Each structure stands twice: as C-alpha cells, then as structure tokens.
Structure 1
Amino acid sequence: MFRRIKPIEHREEVDFPVDLKKLGYFVNSEDQIRQIGKPSEGFDYHVHRVERVNERRREALDECVRRILDTRFVEEGLTKHFLPPGSNPGTDPCVPILISNDLDDVEKVLVIIGNTHDDLGVWSVREMEGPGINHGSMISTIRSAKKEKFGLLILNCGQNVYSPEMGRAVTYRSWKAATKPSPHIDEVKNRVPGHENVQKHIESVLGEVKGRLIGKDGKKKKKIYFLTYGWGCWGLVKYLDVNFAEWKANIEALIAVESTHTAADVTSSDLRHFLTTRARAYIVHSDPPGTFIPDKRFICQTFSTAQIYSETIVPNAWQDVMLPWFKRVEEDPEGCNPVILVDWESVERLQEGWGGYSGSAKPKGGDDPDKWAFDDDDDEDDHDRKAELREGGDAFGEEGLEDMVDLRDAEQAARADKVLQENGRPGTVTDDGLKEMGVVSGALGIL
C-alpha cells in the first residue's frame, strides 16, 4: 500500500514563438538550419532538463519549417487541396494534399505516397538539417520530376490526427507536443471522415482524383507512376489489390521504399504480374545503390540503397537511381525489369541465418512457385555440378542461368544479361515456364 506524501507538481506549459530567429536559428546559404550562436551546428533538442519543454520547443521549430515549405510548394506550382471536398480549413475536420496546377494538362503524373509519421511534403527531418531543407523535403523530388514533365499528386498519410484547437490535421508527434504529454485521441472528434487511417486516406484520395487521372469508359488518359514509402506503399497495394482492373491501363510503374507490404497482401494475379514486371523495391542495405538484393518479401525485384535510415533513401537515391528507372520504364515498359533466374537455395546459403533450411529451391510438383515452396531432396551430383559452374566460370546458357548464385557479382550479372538478350526479350518467360524449369524470377539491376 502506498501513501502520497507530496502533492504532484503541475507545471504550466512553456510556449515558444514560431519564429526561427527568436528560437535562435536561421537558414544559411546552403539551405541548412543552423544555430545563430553556433553557425556550424544544427538543431539541439536537449536544451532543458524537462523533456516536455524540449518537445514543445522542437514543435515550434517544426512549424517554422512547415511554413517555409508551404511557401516553396506554392513557388513550385503546387496547391493545397482539402479533403473531404467542400471542407472549410480551420472549422471542419479535413486533410490537405498537394496537387500541381498543371495536373490536367500533363501526360505523366507522379503520385507520391509517404509514410505515416511525416508532415505533408517531407521525406526526412534528418536530411533537412543536414544537406538542406529542399533535400530532406520533397522539393528536390518535385523539381527533378517537373523537369521530366511530370504532374504531381502528393498524398498525406502522416497528418492523420485532427486538432480542433489548432484547426488542422497534424502528425501524432505534433498532436502530442501541442496538447499534453499523454493526449487521448477521440476517434470521432480527432479523425477526418474517410481518412481515419492510411488505407482509407489512399482510397479516398484516389477515388476523388481518379476522374482526372484515368479518364472514363476505360479510355486511357494519363501515365501514372507511383513513388511510395513505408506504410504508404502497403496502403496502395491493398487498394490496388481490389481496384487494379480499373487502374491498370494507366499505371506505368511503382517504386516501393522500405515497404511494409508482403506477398500475402496481394491476391490479384494481375497486380502480382504488374509488381513482378513494373515495380521495384528499395531497402536499407549497405551494398552500392541499385545492387540487386535477393529478397522474397515484396514480389517485386529488390535493390540496395547504401543507406542506414529508411527515411534517407528517397532523398539520396531518387535522382541517380529511381528517376532513371522511371525513364527506362517510359522508353521500354516491357523490358524495364529484365527477368533473371535465381537458384534461391544457393542465395539462402549466402544469406546466413535467412530461411533456416537446406533443401532444393525447386517447387514441388503442383506448387505455385510464387509461394516459395521447397522440397527436402538433396541431389549431391546436382550440387557438385553447381559448384563446378561457379568455380570454373563456364559460359551461361539457359541451364547456367538456373545455376546462378549471386547476382551482385558484376561478372556473373553481365554474362547473364548477355544470355538473356541473346535468348529472348526480357520479361517473356511465363510463370508456367518458370515452374517447369523449377526456378523463380528475380531481376538484374542494370541502371
């Protein structure tokens, strides 16, 4: 049994001005946020012994950055649209998204769907402080996309809590900092109808704008490219799994950055085929950007980014890796993801501790190769033959492709690509053909 011997101290909230200069910061010539007193140093979170004070101070600085970005989005030709339609910002629960003013005039549209913890138009707060505000936000992404004649639609999966006091939708971090240390979210008062979670937000936004994107009566209107991150990709995959027939004539390609979706989320055979042939996943990995990574989770081919934080992937890989691939899709949609045949058993041996089995990678008779079924047969002669092939460097034929071990080996990748070019157009191998050969499809990272 406990007895209170001292009253709980109730501290008054400390308010900070939404003003960079008064907070002790400025934006330098390199577009970085720096301390006025220490121009070589960035934001310092731990300035007070009370965590709540630090939290509210950070929120004041974040609001300064949001206002800077709002101005820059306007300068780049993007306008905020509030959903549900007809909402009055400040009085009605609503969520803002960004749409480029030329959306109805362009032939190509880049749809950006971010993660569930970031403000609208932000990739990485860490990168905004480091290389610069434009780099860490979506401004750099927007500018390079505009040079390639893309119109833009930017969804808002992060600001999913509506604050009547502030009169706007905010991220959970902002909600917590602006209200109280342990805020309760009222699922009626603090949610926007139709945008209660990431899946509903994506469904509502795409349902609202599809008339401007995919036309009517099945007629193709625009070419759509998706750039997605984290839970945003999961929400899109769940939406397309149900609605892909309506959108498939328009969708050209999809990039999934550290996505949370898995093969189990895809039941549509058409969507599965699209992800295999027109989608790529980029993950946190130490290998050089664009290196093929044997990874079964996403259905689509997976590549490294040389990043250690998921939030820094797009700012650092978009210009040199992702955008060039979108251009490849535009030039050759049927060959943008060359098919390579992967011996997953050998790959598993290279990935220590991954999978926990030592059997053959060949699916059992009647099994769907997309389910990654394996048998336990161990053909010693077959293993010896594969070892000789790997050590001797024999020329790859169709049989040799099946025996390839590590696509990250540049010499093997180059020889395999040559064989693919000689034996047939990439992407023409059917699932049935793969099944008969006892292999599964992967990708060769040619960037």
Structure 2
Amino acid sequence: MFRRIKPIEHREEVDFPVDLKKLGYFINSEDQIRQIEMPSEGFDYHVHRVERVNEKRREAIDECVRRVLDTRFVEEGLTKHFLPPGSTPGTDPCVPILISNDIDDVEKVLVIIGNTHDDLGVWSVREMEGPSINHGSMISTIRSAKKEKFGLLILNCGQNVYSPEMGRAVTYRSWKAATKPSPHIDEVKNRVPGHENVQKHVESVLEELKGRLIGNDGQKKKKKKIYFLTYGWGCWGLVKYLDVNFAEWKSSIEALIAAESTHTAADVTSPDLRHFLTTRARAYIVHSDPPGTFIPDKRFICQTFSTAQIYSETIIPNSWHDVMLPWFKRVEEDPEGCNPVMLVDWESVERLKEGWGGYTGSTKPKDGDDPNKWAFDDDESEEDHDREAKLEEGGKAFGEEGLEDMVDLRDAEQAAKANKALQENERPGTMMDNGLKEMGVGKAAPSA
C-alpha cells in the first residue's frame, strides 16, 4: 500500500513566441539556425529542468522553420493543396500536400512520399540544423529535380493528427507540444477522413491526382513518366496501394527508390508489381559501407545498397544528388538494363540461405543459363506459374523463396570491391573490421 506524501505540483503552461529572434536564434549566411549569443552554436534543446518547457520551446522554433519553408516552397513554384477536395483550411479537417505549378505540362513527375513523423517537405530535422535548412528539408531535392525537368507531387504522411484548436493537421510531436502532456487522440475528431493513416493517405492522394498523372478514361493527355522517391512507412503505403492498383499505373511508372522502407516481400502478391520491383526499383538502407555498395538483402524484392549513414532520416538528403538521381537518369536512358544480374557469389548465398526464412532449394544457375542476361525476364517459366499458384493458395510470397544477389558492374569502384570480397570469400556489403571499429564495436566472433 502506498500513500501520497506530497501533492502533485501543477505548473502553468509556458508559451513561447513564434519568432526566432525572440527565442534567441537566427539563420546565418550558411542557412543554419544558430544562437544569437553564441553564433557558432546550434539549437540547444535542454535549457530547462522541466521537460515540458523544453518541448514547448522546441515546437515554437519548429513552427518558425515551417513558416520559412512555406515561403521557400512558393518560391520554388509549389502550391499547397488541401484534401479532401473542397475542404476549407482552418475550419474543416484537412491535410495539405504540395504540387508544382507545372505538373500538368511536364513529361516527368517525381512523386515524393516521406515518413510518418516529419512535417510536410522535411526529410530530417537533424540535417536542417546542419548542414542547412535546405539540405535537411526537401528544398535541395526539389531544386535538383527541377533542373532535370521533373514536376513534383509531395505527399504528407507525417502531419496525420488534426487539431481543431489549431485548425490544421500536425505531426504527433507537434500535437503533444500543443496539448497537455500524454494527450489522447480521438480517432474521429482528430483524424482527417480518408487520411487516417499512411496507407489511406497514399491511396486518397494518388486516386485524387490519378487523372492528372496518368489520365482517366476518355481523356487524351500526353503520357507522363512517373518516378517515386519514398522513405520509411511512406514506401510501405505505396507498395500496398500498387499491389492492388498496379494495372492502372504500370504503363506510366518508370522507377521507384525506397529509403529504409518498411515493406517486405510478404506485402507483394501482384506478379506485375513483383517484376517491376526487381527490374525498376532500388532500396537504400542504413549501412556503414560506401554509398552505392551492393548489399545482399532480399527483404524488399529489389536490389539493395548501402548509404554510409547511421540514421535513416539522413539517407535521402545525403544520397539523393550523387547516388539516387543518377540512377533515375540511368533508368531513363536504359530502362531494361538499369538493374542487371552481373556477379553472384553463389557459395555465400548458400551459406546465407538459412537466414532467409523459408528458402529451400539450390540457388545455383541451371545449365545453359546466360550469365549476362538481365534479371527476371518478361517470359514466364513453369516456376513462375508454380510460384503464382502458391500465392493464390496462400503460400509464401515471392522473396521468401530466395532472391539472386545482383551487382551492377558498370560502377568501377563497386566492381572492384565486389571482386575483392569474392576473392576473400566474403559477401559484398559486409562490415569489415575498420567499419566495426568506426562504429565502436569490437571484432565480431566467427560464426560456428
């Protein structure tokens, strides 16, 4: 039995002005948020012993940054559109997305789908604090995409809580800061119809914009080439949507990039989507190896590569310009050869198969197979039909039965690294001793 000795202290809420200068900060010439009194120092969260005060203060600074970004999005030719259609911002529950003003006129469209905890148009708050606001937000991504003549559609998976008091959709972190501690989310009052979660949001946006992207029956529009750049749960929502609706989209979609996605082989039952992922999609994950190093990871039904990042939120800001965008260009130049099967360490694959749950059988190529042919031909084999039959019977999804390791040898440095790894009887992408030391981990014990 316990008895309260001292009553709970009820503190009054502290409000902070939405003004960087009054909060003691400014944006320097390098586009970084810095303290006025100590210009070399960035944002400091822990300034008060009461956590609630720190939380409220951080939210005030975040709101300042949102307003800066809103101005920059307009300057880049993007406009906020509120869904569901016909909603009145400030009055009706609605969620904003960003659409470039030229989306109806361009031939290529980049559809960006972020994660479930970031504000609209933000990749990483960590990267916004340094190197810069533009780098951590989607501004840098937008500018480089515009140079390649992309139109843009930016979804909003993060601002998924509607606040009647604030009259807008916000992230859960903003919701906590704006309400009392440990707030309760009412699944009716605090959700936007059709956008209650990431899967419904992706479905609602793509269905609403489908006519402008791929055209509707009876509409004669110039065919657009659609590229998807996704992160985290945003990619999962897209895969779930395409698994059902891929027939409508497959003639328009050119390529997909998934950064630290949460989708797996079990989420894909459509043979057409499966073929698209193996031939026109790439996954980029947190890994210590140099950016673009092939990683034998079969979870995503597509080639997987390292990024030399330790935080998932920093993958796209630091890999987009030098790794991801060049691959989009490669897809445009050679759509059938952008993901070729080139080099496979069959012995390593055999050793790893026990960790690839559900895999049985040999991974070795059959006699007569062309070692230089592209991965996953259009021609269906008896094995393909058997696999599809298993799916219909509730069997294991493709990818749980084994996926070939693929390395693109057109990247000379990557090829050299892969060959060296094979000579040393190690699979490409494994963390070497130096990488372990850099991450503060001692040498791993040899496996039994």
Q: Fold-level match, TM-score > 0.5? A: yes
Residues 352-363 of structure 1 aligned to structure 2 (within 5 Å) = 355-356=354-355
Which residue matches 1:246?
248
Aligned partner of 1:373: which letter? Y
C-alpha distance after superposition, 1:180-203 (max 9, x if no partner): 111000011100000000000000
Q: Judge which range, 153-162 or 328-337, deviates more.
A: 328-337
Residues 200-211 of structure 1 aligned to structure 2 (within 5 Å) = 200-211=200-211
How many residues of Structure 1 are paired with residues of Structure 2 in the alignment?
393
User: How does the TM-score come out when normalised to structure 2?
Assistant: 0.82
Matched, 1:374 2:337: no
Contact 2:278 2:376 in 1 (8 A): no
Which residue matches 2:139?
139
- Structure 2 counterpart SS, 1:21: coil
Deviation at 1:440, TM superposition (A): 4.4
Which residue matches 2:438?
none
Over 3 Å counting, the alpha-carbon distance change for 1:135 and 1:399 in structure 2 is same
Matched, 1:442 2:428: no
Q: Which whole-Å CA distance do the structure 2 matches of 1:348 and 1:310 have between them?
A: 29
Matched, 1:227 2:213: no
- Structure 1 counterpart SS, 2:203: helix
Q: Which whole-Å CA distance do the structure 2 matches of 1:112 and 1:254 have between them?
A: 10
Over 3 Å counting, the alpha-carbon distance change for 1:7 and 1:147 in structure 2 is same
- Structure 1 counterpart SS, 2:283: strand
Over 3 Å counting, the alpha-carbon distance change for 1:373 and 1:48 in structure 2 is same
- Structure 1 counterpart SS, 2:276: helix
Aligned partner of 1:441: which letter? E
Over 3 Å counting, the alpha-carbon distance change for 1:425 and 1:343 in structure 2 is closer
User: How does the TM-score come out when normalised to structure 1?
Assistant: 0.83
C-alpha distance after superposition, 1:229-277 (max 9, x if no partner): 0000000000000000011010000000000000000000000000000
- Structure 2 counterpart SS, 1:281: strand
C-alpha distance after superposition, 1:54-102 (max 9, x if no partner): 0000000000000000000000000000000110100100000000000
Which residue matches 1:177?
177
Contact 2:278 2:375 in 1 (8 A): no
Deviation at 1:174, TM superposition (A): 0.3
Aligned partner of 2:226: which letter? I
Contact 1:434 1:441 in 2 (8 A): no
Deviation at 1:346, TM superposition (A): 1.2
Partner of residue 269 from structure 2, selected from 242, 246, 267: 267
Over 3 Å counting, the alpha-carbon distance change for 1:99 and 1:322 in structure 2 is same
Which residue matches 1:51?
51
- Cα RMSD of the aligned pairs, angstroms, is 2.6
Aligned partner of 2:46: which letter? H
Aligned partner of 2:157: which letter? C
- Structure 2 counterpart SS, 1:71: helix
- Structure 2 counterpart SS, 1:287: coil
Q: Which whole-Å CA distance do the structure 2 matches of 1:151 and 1:231 have between them?
A: 23
Deviation at 1:9, TM superposition (A): 1.1
Q: Could you tell me the percent identity over the aligned residues? A: 84
**Which ranges in structure 2 are unaligned for 5 or more consecutive residues?**
387-400, 412-448
C-alpha distance after superposition, 1:150-176 (max 9, x if no partner): 000000000000001111000000000
- Structure 2 counterpart SS, 1:153: strand
Matched, 1:304 2:306: yes
Deviation at 1:444, TM superposition (A): 1.8
Contact 1:199 1:236 in 2 (8 A): yes
Which residue matches 2:27?
27
Q: Which whole-Å CA distance do the structure 1 matches of 2:199 and 2:234 have between them?
A: 8
Residues 15-414 of structure 1 aligned to structure 2 (within 5 Å) = 15-217=15-217, 221-340=223-342, 342-343=344-345, 346-347=348-349, 349=351, 355-356=354-355, 373-375=359-361
List structure 1 runs of 4+ shifted beyond 6 angstroms: 398-402, 433-436
Over 3 Å counting, the alpha-carbon distance change for 1:425 and 1:117 in structure 2 is closer
- Structure 1 counterpart SS, 2:282: strand
Q: Which whole-Å CA distance do the structure 2 matches of 1:44 and 1:400 have between them?
A: 63
Aligned partner of 2:238: which letter? L
Aligned partner of 2:20: which letter? L
Q: Which whole-Å CA distance do the structure 2 matches of 1:427 and 1:241 have between them?
A: 18
